[in-house]
């Protein structure tokens, strides 16, 4: 997984710009021996801003960009010259990115839609020059303010895919086969467990040139919410799905029991998943005759739509799309309502578990912290040099 192009965990170091120093300067020009103070203010430091960008699907572009630093504000000059404001540093992320503090695991923010901007770190304010401190009783102040310091933070970005329909099922339930049958996506399909190692997205075409997005995640096994199998890593990708499609093979001994096990794992991972609308698809029905299908239909749950399908023969696929489209467009199940900030609750991460996930993802390597002492020495040198020029 470390070599995969699907990157949904990234750990980076961010630093805003510090404010520039105010200038302490007294005006000395010909014919004005008592020119008074004219030191300008320092410029504001740049902010670090997260920006949603629908052109990105993963965090791959940030995998090797481990330092994001905004520009420092310029120092004030004589003749009331204001220092230049530092440029903001923008971090473009795919829609559905959640940000946590890498040291505490505390939830920081969520970028849910395109062109949404979230101020992650605020730059320092510039210091006031001595011109701002003049008074009738102190007409030549010989002091100025330093700029406010920078703010630095190490963050972890976690991607939760945005899709209309999320496929939920045990390994080899036929999820990848269904996605390849309904869309142009070509996920890996084989006759062994955990064939799918990373999520796949496919666009399902519907009538009148309409469509919806379907997401396939690795199979969930009993105990996935406790870290067993691969399900725990990818369960977060269906947290934002508008509709959950549960898939259970028709040759299973007890279809209802498997459905309840899947439902229990989702509840233990995030109880709010039970508020989503659900549809049950009984797969591999080409192995069942009509009489057996009718008998199974009487034993299945009555509180959700049930569709018998076969991705190989195409049986029931049109009916499945009709059911999914009807539920997706119901008034109580709009995607924009599910992903609204006031309806999504993000919990803080347990830092020990979070650190382990980072190490498994390979996202905890490659960050070298910037030596701020060297930066301060350089700034002092530049300040002294500018003072000599004055």
User: Among residues 363, 367, 364, 370, which one has the least CA distance to residue 15?
Assistant: 370
CB atoms within 10 A of CB 257: 11
Output the pLDDT for position 226.
Answer: 52
Which residues face 121 on adjacent strands?
A: 48
- In the chain, list all ranges with CATH 2.70.210.12: 9-160+353-389
Distance between CA atoms of residues 94 and 90, nearest Å: 13
Burial 346-355 (b: 16+ CB within 10 A, else e): beebeeeebb
Q: Are 12 and 68 a contacting pair, CB within 8 Å?
A: yes
Question: Residue 363 has which token pair?
Answer: 């996202």
Q: Which helix H or strand E contains 10, and what residues bound it?
A: strand 9-15
**pLDDT values of the chain reduced to their tens digit, one per residue, 390 residues:** 344 567 778 889 999 999 999 999 998 888 877 788 999 999 999 999 999 998 888 888 888 888 999 999 999 998 899 999 999 999 999 888 889 998 888 889 889 888 999 999 999 999 999 999 999 999 889 999 999 999 999 998 988 777 788 888 888 778 888 888 888 767 666 554 555 556 777 888 888 778 888 888 776 766 555 555 454 556 767 777 778 899 888 888 888 888 888 888 888 877 777 888 889 988 888 877 778 878 888 888 888 888 898 888 888 899 999 999 888 887 665 544 444 444 455 666 666 666 666 665 555 555 555 555 544 544 444 444 444 444
Query: Which residues are CB-contacts of 318 (< 8 A; sequence separation ≥ 6)?
Result: none
Distance between CA atoms of residues 290 and 311, nearest Å: 17
Q: DSSP label at 106?
A: -
Q: Are 39 and 78 a contacting pair, CB within 8 Å?
A: yes
Query: Which residue bears the tokens 């979230």?
Result: 118
Domain 9-160+353-389: assigned CATH number: 2.70.210.12
CB atoms within 10 A of CB 267: 13
- In the chain, list all ranges with CATH 3.40.50.300: 165-338
Distance between CA atoms of residues 131 and 40, nearest Å: 7
Query: Which residue bears the tokens 């009709």?
Result: 322
Distance between CA atoms of residues 237 and 162, nearest Å: 8
φ and ψ at 205, to 5 degrees? Answer: -80, 140
Per DSSP, the three-state class of 215 is strand
Burial of 2 (0-12, 13-18, 19+ CB in 10 A): exposed
The CATH number of domain 165-338, selected from 3.40.50.150, 3.30.70.20, 3.10.150.10, 3.40.50.300: 3.40.50.300
Distance between CA atoms of residues 67 and 368, nearest Å: 8
């Amino acid at each position: 997984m470390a070599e995969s192009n699907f990157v949904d965990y990234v750990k980076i170091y961010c630093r805003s710009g510090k404010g520039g120093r105010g200038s302490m300067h007294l005006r000395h020009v010909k014919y004005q021996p008592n020119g008074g103070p004219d030191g300008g203010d320092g410029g504001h430091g740049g902010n670090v801003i997260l920006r949603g960008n629908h052109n990105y699907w993963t965090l791959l572009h940030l995998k090797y960009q481990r330092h994001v630093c905004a520009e420092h504000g310029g120092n004030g000059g004589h003749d009331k010259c204001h220092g230049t404001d530092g440029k903001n540093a923008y971090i473009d992320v795919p829609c559905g990115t959640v940000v946590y503090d890498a040291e505490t695991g505390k939830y920081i923010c969520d970028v849910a839609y395109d062109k949404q901007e979230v101020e992650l770190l605020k730059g320092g304010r510039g210091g006031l020059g001595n011109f701002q401190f003049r008074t009738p009783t102190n007409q030549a102040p010989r002091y100025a303010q330093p700029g406010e310091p920078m703010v630095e933070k190490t963050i972890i970005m976690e991607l939760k895919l945005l899709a209309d329909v999320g496929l939920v099922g045990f390994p080899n339930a036929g999820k990848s086969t269904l996605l390849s049958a309904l869309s142009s996506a070509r996920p890996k399909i084989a006759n062994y467990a955990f064939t799918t190692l990373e999520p796949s997205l496919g666009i399902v075409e519907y009538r009148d040139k309409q469509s919806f997005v379907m997401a396939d995640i690795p199979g969930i096994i009993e105990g996935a919410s406790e870290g067993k199998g691969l399900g725990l890593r990818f369960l977060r990708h269906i947290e934002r799905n508008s509709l959950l499609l549960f898939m259970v093979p028709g040759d299973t001994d007890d279809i209802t029991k498997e459905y309840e096990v899947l439902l229990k794992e989702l509840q233990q991972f995030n109880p709010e998943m039970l508020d989503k609308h659900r549809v049950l698809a009984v797969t591999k029905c080409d192995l069942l005759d009509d009489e057996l299908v009718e008998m199974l239909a009487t034993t299945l749950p009555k509180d959700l739509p049930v569709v018998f399908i076969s991705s190989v023969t195409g049986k029931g696929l049109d009916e499945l799309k009709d059911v999914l489209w009807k539920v997706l467009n119901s008034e109580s199940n709009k995607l924009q309502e599910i992903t609204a900030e006031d309806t999504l609750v993000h919990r803080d991460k347990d830092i020990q578990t979070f650190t382990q996930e980072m190490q498994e993802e390979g996202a905890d390597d490659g960050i070298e912290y910037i030596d701020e002492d060297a930066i301060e020495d350089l700034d002092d040198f530049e300040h002294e040099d500018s003072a000599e020029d004055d």
